[in-house]
Amino acid sequence: MQASLVARRARLEPLLASARSLREANSPRGQQARERLIRSTGLSAQGVEFALARCLEATPSEAEITALLLATPESNTAHVLLSANVFVAAHRAIAIGLASSANVQVRASRREPEFAELLWSGAPHSFELKAELSPRAGDHLWAYGSDQTLHEVAKALPSGVTLHGHGSGIGLAVLEGEPDAPELTRIVRGLAEDTVLFDQRGCLSPRAVLVRGSAEFSRRFAERLAGELGRLEQQIPRGQLDPTEAAASTAYRDAAAYAGDLFEAGRGFVSYAENGQFQVPPVGRHLHVSCVPELGASLSELSPLITCVAFAGSARTAEQLQNQLPGARFSDFGRMQCPPFDGPVDRRAR
């Protein structure tokens, strides 16, 4: 490793150590983290635990870290504007800041400031928590949030500041053909877990499934997925939805019930449309399964929105999908929320 990379690599270590200690359920820091995160995220206790265990990248491989360092531009000062709800995302975002600069200033989400503070308390000399960011020419700003937030940030930015904006998106599951029984069980289980994480509030969270197969199989898949989500909810209950999320959930439920089949999936729903009609359900553990005659047309209108794809099918189709969705991350089912620690999870060109 080059000397400069070694120095940048060293800046990450206190942060990684802080994350590791937060993941330990029995440590005082780990216990404190769980108490605070349950209060701030609205996730259930089991939901917080599952997210920490599955998605907090406390022990990335050296290959991943090297990739992250090589992909991150160096800057005078790195500013990091965090979003809410996928609380572990603060860890990766701050790591990218540290890969860029020794001087990292972080503004946590006002709605969910806890995880950034928890990380800072274990690595207080690595970065600063700020109430506001004031980037100057030559600085880089990594901003995470809704497209509207990014638009407002970009408008207010002084000239000479490089903005790395990572906005809204969705995860998508794609099935081609009918997998055999063991594979189907694995896919359904993995997709349900991907959906349950963060109660589906992340940009990697799957929201819809495209099935290129028979209508009968597609419908059965939707029903089975709903059953798996219901079963998983017994282990990892859904947390609280805020009033607007709950209202959106109600509206989706009734529109979907009118338009096609609707299967109860714990406190969420899986909708199914045989006519290929596509929709993105609101967050809260809802998935829409759409039976499509071919993937190309369905994907073309969605491509700018897709951050992550889990795919089961032929190698040829996988290659086509990757060509069609060059900005999306491809992962296995059950790993959609665990992309390599090699840079921002959102790799779409903006």
Partner 1 sequence: MNRAQVRLSRSAELHALVQHFARGESAHAFGDLALQIAEFQREYSPGFARLCARVGAPLSRIEAIPGVPCDAFRLSRVAVHPEGEDAARFATSGTTGAGHGIHAFRALETYRVVALAAGRAALLSGTDPVHVVALAPELGDPPRSSLGYMMALFMSEFDARADSDPRAPERWLIDEQGVKWHALEQASENARAAGASLLLLATSFALVTLLDGRDGRELTLPPRSVVMQTGGFKGKTREISAPELRASIASCFGISESHVVGEYGMTELTSQLYEATLPGSALAATHSGGHGTYVEPPWLHVLPVDPVSLSPVDPGDVGIARIIDLGNVDSAIAIQTQDRVRRTGGGIELLGRAPGAPPRGCSLAVEEYLAARGA
22 versus 143: smaller Cβ distance to partner 1: 143
Strand duo 287-291 + 329-331: pairing = unpaired
121 versus 279: smaller Cβ distance to partner 1: 279
Chain position carrying tokens 């700003």: 141
Rounded least distance, CB 319 to partner 1, Å: 26
Determine the Cα–Cα distance for residues 63 and 59; give it in Å rounded to an integer: 11
180 versus 301: smaller Cβ distance to partner 1: 301
Compute, in degrees rounded to 10, the torsion defined by CA atoms 280, 283, 285, 286.
-30
| Residues forming a β-bridge with 291 | 211
φ, ψ dihedrals at 137, nearest 5°: -55, 135
Distance of CA 179 to the CA centre of its chain: 26
279 versus 324: smaller Cβ distance to partner 1: 279
Rounded least distance, CB 258 to partner 1, Å: 4
Rounded least distance, CB 31 to partner 1, Å: 25
Can you give the binding site for partner 1, defined by CB under 8 A? 83-86, 89, 109, 111, 144-149, 166-170, 198, 200-203, 205, 207, 242-260, 262, 273, 275, 277, 279-283, 301, 304-305, 346
Rounded least distance, CB 83 to partner 1, Å: 4
Q: Is residue 54 classed exposed, middle or buried when 0-12, 13-18 and 19+ CB atoms within 10 A define those classes?
A: middle
Rounded least distance, CB 230 to partner 1, Å: 16
Chain position carrying tokens 């937060």: 22
Determine the Cα–Cα distance for residues 222 and 244; give it in Å rounded to an integer: 26
213 versus 260: smaller Cβ distance to partner 1: 260
